[in-house]
Structure 1
Amino acid sequence: MHPAIRSAGFLTVGIVLALAIAACGGSSPTPAPVPPLPAPNPFAAVAGIVDPDNHGWPREVDGLNGRITIAAKPLRIVTLSVGHDEMTYALVPAERVVAVGSATKNPSYSNVAHLARDLPTISREPEVILAQNPDIMVTSPFVKAEIVESLSNAGLTVVQTSLENDPQARINNILFLGYIYGEEARAVELAAEVQARYDALQAVVASKPDAARPRVLSATRYSDKLYTAGAGSTEGGVIDGAGGVNVAALAGLERNPIIS
């Protein structure tokens, strides 16, 4: 799948249902300061959080673009991927998302198209992004370094995150983004919900013999090209998690290569 779309790997099993909560509470006020977190601190094991005991401002995180200081709670958020947008809507009141990419408005790719349809549409042009006056932008690894650098030089706080598709990494993605947004309590709640749903799914999958596992090939058309999903891809993670056999991975393919 095209990099702009496949970055939806941050979307975890169960998060779609959680979006209903975000949609209903979209106009709710920003939550009060973070209540005491469960022990042990769930943020302590999340790569990228410099001081997991710091729940005030400023706070620091390590992204692919280096160590980033977040001066205050971000109230005007943009991202450059569908997956980040989907997680963001599940973590913050909807009014804090001020613009989205065109893919996020397309229901063929996005589970939050109905929430984002009236927002301004941004591209990867720095001028277009800066015109929305965001406090922060979260990006995937697929955004070019020169775009990240240009926006950072213009004074925008930019966090470029990594992209992993194993189950624990997806939980950590939720916690990391929640920490960036100052929504730690909501992130812990969402992560627990997603983990519970994933565990329930695995209990069902474990009851099926290997011989009963379906062989699955994922194919996605984007523009004029056809992509499949090999090992380490978003779709491959979904196939594995649901108990299928990813035939592209068996063939030695990785990520999302073009097949036609």
Structure 2
Amino acid sequence: MRPVRNFGAVLAIGIVMVTAACGGDGDDAAKGGANGAQAVVVQAANGAVTVPARPKRIISLAPTHTETLFAIGAGSQVVAVSDFSNYPAEAPRTKLSGFKPNAEAIIAYKPDLVVVSDDLNGVVKALEKVKIPVLLEPAPTKLDDAYDEIDDLGLATGHAAEARRLTGGMKAEIQRTVAASSKAKGLTYYHELDNQLHSVTSKTFVGQVYGLFGLENVADKADKATGGYPQLSREYLLKQDPDLIFLADTKCCGQNGATLPKRPGWSGLDAVKNKNVVEMDDDIASRWGPRLPEFVKAIGDAVQKVQ
């Protein structure tokens, strides 16, 4: 199974602040020192989680959240990240697994905050039993949820202002990219997750990103109660003949523009003949964090080329 590929359902994310009797905003309450540190409460998918002000020993078991923590300036507070957290390079990568989390191994790092995107092996309850705050921030179903999760991490780590600046910049960059590619409506596309022809439909987070451009997803008609991630047949894809092909399996499966014509029948596809095959970074195309605008730009650039 490939990592961080299934964008599951997400609960609505909200933020609640624990303030002193005299009041105060999120940034002030997150500060420590002489002003008196206040814990914060973050409303995550596992409920209201109380987090100490500016936690100093954070563990991230999700590559997307690792990227976010460093992007908002909380990198120095991170003591360990999961084995698949390969970006940024300075992240303290360990053998901790986000897919088969081991509570004892996590506890050994003495964390004061653990961030996960999935509650596997009952890790959330196991850590809560020993009073370790855990934020469950699952894969989002829409863009607003992705931005809310970044804001959650900002609040939890004492970097609320930085998180807001990050999401504001992301939104603006994505809007500019989409506006420059407004004539994409009517073009069809195929997004490939692996060389077994697994794809995404428009109901998934990835599919909704493509939907910003008005692109039509050839996988939508093939989805039959597969949760938005159907495995397409070669015959079906050849019949659909998409205008654009996006390969999100260049790293995992070694796929690129040169390998597609070698597949039976694929050399006749319009996207292959017209060189409208887009080689994507697997990680960027599967994560919903700070590098999301890069994913959007890759789509926008491809659309511009077709036009």
Counterpart of 1:184 in structure 2 is 160
Report if the CA contact (8 A) 2:128-2:134 is conserved: yes
Counterpart of 1:128 in structure 2 is 105
Are the structure 2 counterparts of residues 60 and 189 from structure 1 closer, same or farther at C-alpha, using a change threshold of 3 Å?
A: same
Q: Which has the larger radius of gyration?
A: 2
Report if the CA contact (8 A) 1:8-1:83 is conserved: no
Deviation at 1:73, TM superposition (A): 1.2
Could you tell me the TM-score, scaled by structure 2's length?
0.60
Q: Percent identity?
A: 26
Secondary structure of 1:210's aligned partner? coil
Find runs of 4+ consecutive structure 1 residues off by over 6 angstroms: none
The 5-angstrom pairing of residues 58-137 of structure 1 reads 58-105=39-86, 112-116=87-91, 119-123=93-97, 124-137=101-114
Could you tell me the TM-score, scaled by structure 1's length?
0.69
Report if the CA contact (8 A) 2:219-2:230 is conserved: no
Q: CA RMSD in A?
A: 2.9
Counterpart of 2:13 in structure 1 is 47
Is residue 210 from structure 1 mapped to residue 181 from structure 2 by the alignment? Answer: no
Consecutive unaligned residues in structure 2, runs of 5 or more: 19-24, 30-37, 234-307
Are the structure 2 counterparts of residues 81 and 48 from structure 1 closer, same or farther at C-alpha, using a change threshold of 3 Å?
A: same
Deviation at 1:247, TM superposition (A): 2.0
Is residue 240 from structure 1 mapped to residue 211 from structure 2 by the alignment? Answer: yes
Secondary structure of 1:218's aligned partner? strand
Q: Distance in 2 between matches of 1:188 and 1:204?
A: 25
Question: How many residues are matched?
Answer: 210
Consecutive unaligned residues in structure 1, runs of 5 or more: 10-45, 106-111
Secondary structure of 2:14's aligned partner? coil
Are the structure 2 counterparts of residues 68 and 199 from structure 1 closer, same or farther at C-alpha, using a change threshold of 3 Å?
A: same
Is residue 221 from structure 1 mapped to residue 187 from structure 2 by the alignment? Answer: no
Of Structure 1 and Structure 2, the greater helix share is in 1
Report if the CA contact (8 A) 2:14-2:148 is conserved: no
Q: Distance in 2 between matches of 1:87 and 1:7?
A: 19
Decide which moves more: 160-169 or 83-92.
160-169
Deviation at 1:167, TM superposition (A): 2.5
Counterpart of 1:156 in structure 2 is 132
Counterpart of 2:115 in structure 1 is 138
Counterpart of 1:199 in structure 2 is 175
Counterpart of 2:35 in structure 1 is none
